[in-house]
Chains A and B, each alone.
Chain A
């Protein structure tokens, strides 16, 4: 079945450490997204990518980095510069829009906590 796989499901970060969250999709979607979810704040866009080797900052990109070397993969690195990384991270993808916006399909998320 086609879908989005995020790993790991739970991740712990020590102070000063960079950690990388994996996101893989087999939907053949061009666009991929990373969101951060905090209680009571909904989803906030961190980065998105429309095509391989290209990505744009979202609303809260500071302290995060991404790469898009393959169409199916969009890993997110939470750097030590992100001072409040504890959150639920969601990866999504969407097809190229023939008209308007296409729905985004989501993975099951990674919960990141600070040790």
Chain B
């Protein structure tokens, strides 16, 4: 069975500083990987996804993530954080084709706080 580990429960960065959120996955085949962001009391919004090809993927809001198969990682990065980036971030791995459903396994999330 697949699993996702987000080792950092809470991270604080200063506005304008760079950001890296860690994600490690466990999956036997080619993983399908996602990063989502959640503001308080809201649903999840997709930031970016990796299916295949270029291991550096670009997403919305200036985020990017790099897939490293040798390290089983899919870390999320942003060069310069804005105060509006404060939220909870979830990494997820897909179970591959299961009919028409796309079952995902989510990490426990990393809460990002941005100081001014």
Q: Which residues of A contact B (CB under 8 A)?
A: 4, 6, 30-31, 33, 40-43, 45, 48-51, 56, 90, 92, 94, 96-97, 99-109, 111
Residues in A with CB closer than 8 Å to B102 are 31, 94, 97, 100-104
Size of chain B's interface in residues, with CB distance under 8 A? 30
Residues in B with CB closer than 8 Å to A50 are 98-101
Given contacts A101-B32, A106-B45, contact A43 B96 (CB under 8 A): no
Cβ contact within 8 Å between A100 and B51 = yes
Q: How long is the Cα–Cα vector from A43 to B34 in the complex, in angstroms? A: 14
Given contacts A42-B107, A42-B109, contact A103 B46 (CB under 8 A): yes
Residues in A with CB closer than 8 Å to B104 are 101, 104
- List which B20-53 residues lie within 8 A (CB) of chain A: 30, 32, 34, 36, 41-46, 49, 51-52
Residues in B with CB closer than 8 Å to A4 are 43
Q: How long is the Cα–Cα vector from A108 to B39 in the complex, in angstroms? A: 10
Cβ contact within 8 Å between B97 and A97 = yes
Residues in A with CB closer than 8 Å to B43 are 4, 6, 90, 92, 106-109
17 A-B pairs with C-beta separation under 8 A = A4-B43, A33-B101, A40-B109, A42-B106, A42-B108, A43-B106, A49-B101, A56-B101, A90-B43, A90-B44, A94-B102, A100-B94, A100-B102, A101-B103, A102-B102, A108-B42, A109-B42
Residues in A with CB closer than 8 Å to B42 are 108-109
The answer, yes or no, to whether B9 is at the interface (CB within 8 Å) is yes
CB B23 to nearest CB in A, in angstroms, measures 12
Residues in A with CB closer than 8 Å to B30 are 100
Given contacts A31-B101, A109-B41, contact A103 B51 (CB under 8 A): no
